[in-house]
Each structure stands twice: as structure tokens, then as C-alpha cells.
Amino acid sequence: MTASNPKVIAVCQGELSVSGDPNVVLSCILGSCIAACLWDPTARVGGMNHILLPGRRNDASGHNKFGVFAMEALINELMHIGGRKTNLVAKIFGGANTFENGLGIGEANAAFVRDFLEAESIPIKAESIGGRQARRVRFFPESGHAKQLLTAEAVPIEETKPPKTPPRDRRPAVPPGGSGEVELF
């Protein structure tokens, strides 16, 4: 059970957070973005990421590198606190088409995360994807429970809560300045 005053950690675009603390709630607001909530029911640890765009603009290979690395970073962080990749189950949220002109970003995001989880043999236990409404998602990383609140109307742009929590509770999925860094010993 979650205590009466849970510690809410806002996971903003490009960030991720993991925990095994029953008093922690991971929260994000999603429009066309995707959040993957992964949970290890044995270790009772979970985490959430928040992916704005899985692909890189002008990426000639056509692969969704940034989304791939955001997913791998989340899995690695869960392994650091006792999770096992083979135990993981997923709940996915977001991918709304919130732009009036229908750019298809939400659909592309949803397709990316489904493809990734299938390739990595991580089952999707629940999902709320697509539509035209933004969502507020709350994920309880110790129990694996998730709640979402749909906004009443479509929103024109991606909304993100300003960070309310200290940086040590969450980190960029891709390390700032560290991406692609080559260090020879």
C-alpha cells in the first residue's frame, strides 16, 4: 500500500526514473509522447521513461535510436536496483494525436514502443494508447499499479510538468554530453 503522503517524482520528456520504494509514485503528463512503465513482479521494482520522439531527425538508417536507448537505459537502471530483464512486464501510455493537422507522431511513438517490447520479449500487460486526449499517468513502481486521467479535451501541444523533485531521483535517459562519447583507455 502506498502511504498517505507519497513522494511524487515527475518524469519529464527525455527522462526516466526507477524505484522499489512503496511510498514513491512516478508521474508524467503525456500528449503524443510515450511512457513505458516496466515492472519486475519478483523484485518489486519498477520504472518509467518518457519518450518524446523515438527517432532521430535525419537519421539515414531509419532506426529509432533514441527510443531504443531510452528503453535500454530504463532496463539497465532497473537491473541496478535488483530487477531482471526476463521478469519485466510493461504498461504503456500515450501516443495521442493531439495536433489538429495529424502529424502521426503519436502513432509512430506507439508503434515504436510496441515493436521494441515485442522484440525484447517483454509482455505488455496494459496499455492506453492513441486517441486525441492528453493523459496524466501515475505509476507505482513497487506494486506495478498504474492510474491514468484523461484530459477532458484534446490539447494542442505536449504538456510537461516542471520538475518538482531533485535531480537525483530521475535522470536523462541519454546522459548529457555523454551520448556517443568515445573514450579510449
Partner 1 sequence: MTLKVLAIDDSRTMRDLLQVSLSESGFDITLAEDGIDGLDKLDAANPDVVITDINMPRLDGFGVIEAVRAKDAYRATPILVLTTESSPAMKARARDAGATGWIVKPFDDVALASAIRRVSA
21: which 3 cell numbers?
A: 520504494
Q: Shortest approach of partner 1 to residue 116 CB, angstroms? A: 6
User: Among residues 21, 72, 127, 159, which is the contact residue for partner 1, using CB under 8 A?
Assistant: 72
149: which 3 cell numbers?
A: 486521467
Q: Is residue 147 within the footprint of partner 1 (CB under 8 A)? A: no
Number of residues binding to partner 1, judged by CB under 8 A: 29
Query: With contact defined as beta carbons under 8 Å apart, do 14 and 54 qualify?
Result: no
CB nearer partner 1, residue 37 or residue 78: 78
CB nearer partner 1, residue 44 or residue 56: 56
Backbone angles phi, psi at 184, to 5 degrees: -100, 135
Q: Is residue 58 within the footprint of partner 1 (CB under 8 A)? A: no
Per CB under 8 A, the segment of 58-66, 89-97, 135-143, 162-170 that binds partner 1 is 58-66
Query: With contact defined as beta carbons under 8 Å apart, do 34 and 110 qualify?
Result: yes
87-146 residues in contact with partner 1 (CB under 8 A) are 116, 119-120
Euclidean distance between CA atoms 24 and 20, whole angstroms: 8
Report the DSSP beta bridge partners of residue 35: 93
Q: Give the strand pairing for 24-30 and 7-10.
A: parallel
User: Among residues 43, 68, 126, 154, which is the contact residue for partner 1, using CB under 8 A?
Assistant: 68
Euclidean distance between CA atoms 15 and 147, whole angstroms: 19
Q: Shortest approach of partner 1 to residue 77 CB, angstroms? A: 9
Q: Give the strand pairing for 124-129 and 89-94.
A: parallel
Interface residues toward partner 1, by CB under 8 A: 56, 61, 63, 65-66, 68-69, 71-73, 75-76, 79, 84-86, 116, 119-120, 174-175, 178-185
